[in-house]
Amino acid sequence: MATLFGRTWTRQDLMERAGDISQLGGVRTSTLNDGNEAGVRAVEVRTGTGFRFVVLPDRGMDISEAEFAGRSLCWRSGTGDLAPAFFEPLGRGWLRGFSGGLLTTCGLTYFGPACTDQGESLGQHGRISYIPARNVLADGEWQQDEYLMWVQGKVSETTSMTPKLTMARKISTRLGTNCLTVEDTIENEGHTSSPFMMLYHLNFGFPLLSEETVLLSPTKSVVTVDRQKVEDADLYRRFQNPTAGYQDFVFRHEVAPDANGDVTIALINGGASPFGAYVRYPSRELPHLWQWKMLAQGVYTVALEPANCWMETRAEARKRGDLKFLEPGEIVRHRLEVGVCASKQEIEKLQGIPSSLNFQP
């Protein structure tokens, strides 16, 4: 049953009180029509609790806006939800359309800094987030007393002369909840092996992020992107107000999965009205957890980034012998849950996450 407005409801209870499911929540499709966003398909999903997010099928099935009770969960840049035709593939051109949002997917055949790998020029963070999805379906339905909602589609990265990697993505939730699930199935549909580098760029921002926010994670050790050990936990767990000239950090966390093999990380704002957000994912296929800490004015964000490999260029990974490949017909599945901690009680449930800080909301 759906839990809404302080009680649980059956399907009949709710639909006796509403003329249509859209009165309570639901899925709604639209097309952006202004400026460099024109033509971008958008799917808005509302769960009825105040949890709302927007999926962009034309931007790799990524998630742009996300909020709870009118409070944004994510950081948004000034680029807007750029139409994919404006993609600049070389150098740092990727940043001209990096709108932030709750989820930006990096990959599939490369991410990290720009480089040249075996004569091929590769820009920053890959192409997948600029590729429109096909076979898109956005819908909702009652299953007994649960109303389920989902957006799904397929995004393929290929050229006429290279293997075809296809990502089938389904983003789902249900009425009365404060979380969503991303389920990805990545398959090499070609006839030769293909490099495979993938990172989930989850971008959190104000008002979730503030000087009163702390990161909770089952972290055993932390190094910088250039493999220098970080001794001061406050450097990655604590945050500050927007700071002029702030130089960003990229950290790699060595984390301890729980008994189910899952990793749970959370950002908790312990201010006057405590709330937070968490990310949960199986660590087997995504063994690297990266954190981007950027507290500059206007670029005030912390990104939590599960990935399948080190944060480096594809050329560097190949040289070190660490480059991952998908063989013809090989399939990899990833699953992530992103949710909101809307009360002190829900925050307390996360206190079991091992942490070097004793956080008190």
CATH of the domain at 305: 2.70.98.10
Closest to 24 in 3D by CA, of 63, 50, 6, 53: 50
How far is residue 341's CA from residue 277's CA, in Å, rounded to a whole number?
Answer: 6
How far is residue 330's CA from residue 240's CA, in Å, rounded to a whole number?
Answer: 44
233-241 long-range Cβ contacts below 8 angstroms, 24+ apart: 233/356, 233/357, 236/291, 236/293, 237/355, 237/356, 237/357, 238/214, 238/357, 239/209, 239/210, 239/211, 239/213, 239/214, 239/293, 239/295, 239/302, 240/211, 240/295, 241/210, 241/211, 241/295
Contacts of 5 (CB under 8 A, 6+ apart): none
User: Does a structural domain hold residue 360?
Assistant: no
How far is residue 198's CA from residue 308's CA, in Å, rounded to a whole number?
Answer: 6
User: Does a structural domain hold residue 324?
Assistant: yes
Position 215 scores a pLDDT of 95
Contact 123, 89 (CB under 8 A): yes
* Alpha-helical runs (H) found in the chain: 11-15, 234-237, 314-320, 344-349
Closest to 175 in 3D by CA, of 154, 146, 152: 146
Total domains in the fold of the chain: 1
User: Does a structural domain hold residue 361?
Assistant: no
Position 354 scores a pLDDT of 55
User: Does a structural domain hold residue 31?
Assistant: yes
**Rounded (to 5) percent helix, strand, coil in the chain:** 10, 45, 40
pLDDT in tens, the chain (361 residues): 899 999 999 999 999 999 999 999 999 999 999 999 999 999 999 999 999 999 999 999 999 999 999 999 999 999 999 999 999 999 999 999 999 999 999 999 999 999 999 999 999 999 999 999 999 999 999 999 999 999 999 999 999 999 999 999 999 999 999 999 999 999 999 999 999 999 999 999 999 999 999 999 999 999 999 999 999 999 999 999 999 999 999 999 999 999 999 999 999 998 778 899 999 999 999 999 999 999 999 999 999 999 999 999 999 999 999 999 999 999 999 999 999 998 877 887 775 665 544 434 3
User: Does a structural domain hold residue 357?
Assistant: no
Range of the domain at 256: 2-352
Token duo for residue 327 = 């063989």
- Whether the full predicted model's pTM is greater than 0.85, yes or no, is yes
User: Does a structural domain hold residue 243?
Assistant: yes
User: Does a structural domain hold residue 358?
Assistant: no
Contacts of 108 (CB under 8 A, 6+ apart): 126, 127, 128, 157, 165, 167, 186, 196, 197, 198
